[in-house]
């Protein structure tokens, strides 16, 4: 990793915080995968759930590259793209209104409503959910007693991803069946009566790296408060427990509709704040939430 000075902006969307580099103005790091774990360290670095590069794009008005806190690159981040949109508009790289951002999911359209110099409310067209198991990807269950559906969407499917029943299952009121959705990155969703009773720090990494998910997966436990509101906790692939996950909240909206638990429009309560989701039958999932700058600084390397 180069020791050259690297200007950055620390931003968060509903508490899901990243270190952002403005590649329109400053040179992007040569090895972002190596930099991400170091700069994301909350004790010896800037601190964050990862590193996001905001770059010029030949296809849209900006390009987003996202690296998790472990250095792995992810296709998409819902909270991250809102902050990218705020940055490109607030820095004058794009005009206010609809903005197209190139991501690993493809081109996504966002609409930025400026609230203040360092705060925006951003609506993101997250695109249509991906439900085919091979495209998520989620493999056929190796256990012959509980096969994952082949070709059909994985909705409330009996699996062995959580292992054998444990005491916390009863405390949490867990439904151990899996629903799998991709929003450009994979999500495993489980429903329960009390998300606070889930030992996310131990069960999250177990599910993330389960053989059922060849590209690993994000993991969400969700509590239905009513048909228009859910409460969720997230273990993010490559980052661990996070305050919010925009693609995850979008996947939960889809899973709620597919399982008959929620309406198409829901508010997701996350530890870092609320996100508004709507899955249109004729279009994709729309997500609305905040994007806020925290501070700017210069990273001098190790």
Catalytic residues: 77, 245
How many angstroms separate the CA atoms of 164 and 129, rounded?
A: 30
Q: Which positions ≥6 away from 56 have C-beta within 8 Å?
A: 23, 24, 62, 63
Structural contact between residues 31 and 17, judged by C-beta atoms closer than 8 angstroms: no
Q: Which positions ≥6 away from 19 have C-beta within 8 Å?
A: 8, 9, 10, 39, 40, 46, 48, 50, 51, 52, 299
């Amino acid at each position: 990793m180069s020791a050259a000075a690297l200007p950055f902006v620390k931003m968060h969307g509903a508490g899901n915080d990243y270190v952002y580099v403005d590649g329109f103005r400053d040179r992007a790091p040569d090895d972002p995968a190596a930099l991400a774990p170091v700069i994301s360290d909350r004790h010896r670095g800037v601190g964050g759930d990862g590193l996001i590069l905001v770059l010029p794009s030949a296809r849209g008005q900006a390009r987003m590259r996202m690296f998790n806190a472990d250095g792995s690159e992810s296709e998409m981040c819902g909270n991250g793209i809102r902050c990218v949109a705020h940055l490109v508009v607030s820095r004058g790289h794009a005009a206010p209104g609809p903005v197209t951002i190139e991501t690993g999911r493809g081109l996504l359209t966002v609409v930025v409503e400026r609230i203040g110099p360092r705060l925006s409310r951003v609506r993101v067209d997250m695109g249509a959910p991906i439900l085919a198991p091979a495209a998520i990807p989620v493999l056929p269950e190796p256990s012959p007693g509980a096969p994952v559906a082949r070709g059909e969407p994985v909705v409330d499917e009996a699996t062995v991803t959580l292992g054998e029943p444990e005491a916390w299952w009863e405390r949490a009121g867990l439904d151990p069946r899996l629903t799998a959705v991709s929003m450009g990155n994979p999500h495993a969703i489980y429903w329960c009566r009390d998300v606070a009773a889930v030992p996310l720090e131990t069960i999250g990494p177990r599910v993330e790296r389960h053989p059922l998910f060849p590209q690993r997966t994000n993991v969400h436990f969700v509590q239905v408060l009513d048909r228009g509101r859910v409460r969720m906790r997230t273990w993010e692939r490559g980052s661990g427990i996070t305050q919010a996950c925009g693609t995850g909240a979008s996947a939960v909206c889809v899973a709620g509709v597919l399982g008959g638990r929620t309406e198409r429009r829901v508010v997701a309560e996350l530890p870092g704040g609320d996100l508004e989701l709507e899955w249109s039958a004729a279009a994709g999932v729309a997500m609305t939430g905040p994007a806020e700058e925290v501070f700017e600084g210069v990273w001098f390397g190790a």
